[in-house]
Each structure stands twice: as structure tokens, then as C-alpha cells.
Amino acid sequence: MLYVIRHGQVDTNIKNEINGWNEEKLNKKGIQQAINAGKKLKCIKIDAIFCSPLLRTKQTYEFLNINGVPVFYDDRIKERNSNSMVYTKIKTLDKNLWYDKTKYIVYKDSEGFKSIINRTESILNEIKNNYKDKNVLIVTHGDICKSIYLYFNPSVQDISKFRQDNCEIKNYTF
């Protein structure tokens, strides 16, 4: 089984701004969300954890308090590299462009959703091949959660409508 959790809340989430590879700490609510999610995960035997190396995901992992499980930090599950779009108000985005499944670059220097799909597929195929009959947890970001959902639901046309809240846990079967 694959379990996917989005990082706990950060202030940029409250402001409805675009995040990216910026290093932002969890706020108080985000810390509590991670602690609560950790309680839910206590009853599941996790065999391996893949975590984005960004600060907010590493903090989320730490507050989940899952001990004795191998953790792999992997750039493929980092948030979208938004470059000059970091801290831009989300409502100003053209969602059709931002989530266009054919674009590698959008808004002159931001990573396109096609690039995110490619790196997400890469790690999911690796997990599928190397962790058969194991429980794997991914600690990641919003756009990676969308891409994971799309991997398991390829017929979805408008991925912008899928939402995974901070510290919400979704599970998938390969």
C-alpha cells in the first residue's frame, strides 16, 4: 500500500501564495497537523518512507514520530520549482497553463506540470518495483500529490480540481 501525506501548514498556505523550493517552517497549526497525522499512522506498519528534502516536509516527517523505518530523501518529490512565481497569489494563475500536462516550463521559468508528472512517475515506478507487498509512506507537497493522484487515475482531465489538504493522508494500491 502507498500512503501519501502532504506537509503540514506553512504561512504561505494561509496567504494562498505559490510555494516552491523555498525553505519555510511549519507554523503552529502545521506542527499540530503533523502530530495528529502521526497518531493516525501509528496503527500502520510502514516499511519505508520517501520524503522531500525541503524543510517543511522534513519537519512534517519528524513530527509524525515514526521511528525505526528507513527514510529516503528524494528530489523527485520536491514541490514544483516555481522560481520567479514563488509567493505569487494562487488566484492569479491560469490553472489551465499551470496544470497543462504537456508543458515542461510555464510562466517563463517555472517548472511545468509535465516535468512534475515525469519525476513522480519515476519514483512511483521505482517504489512499485522495489516495495511489492510493503507499506510505503511519501511525505511531499501539493502538486506532487496531484501528480500521484493522476498516476493512479489517468483518465482525470482537470487535475486542478483535486485537492489534498495539509497533513491529509491518502492511500493507493499498485
Residues classed as catalytic:
7, 79
d(CA 100, CA 108): 14
Three-state secondary structure call for residue 49: strand
d(CA 40, CA 150): 25
Contact status, residue 84 vs residue 16, Cβ threshold 8 Å: no
- Cell 519528524, residue? 62
Q: Are strands 48-51 and 169-172 parallel, antiparallel or unpaired?
A: unpaired
Q: Residue 158 has which C-alpha cell?
A: 482537470
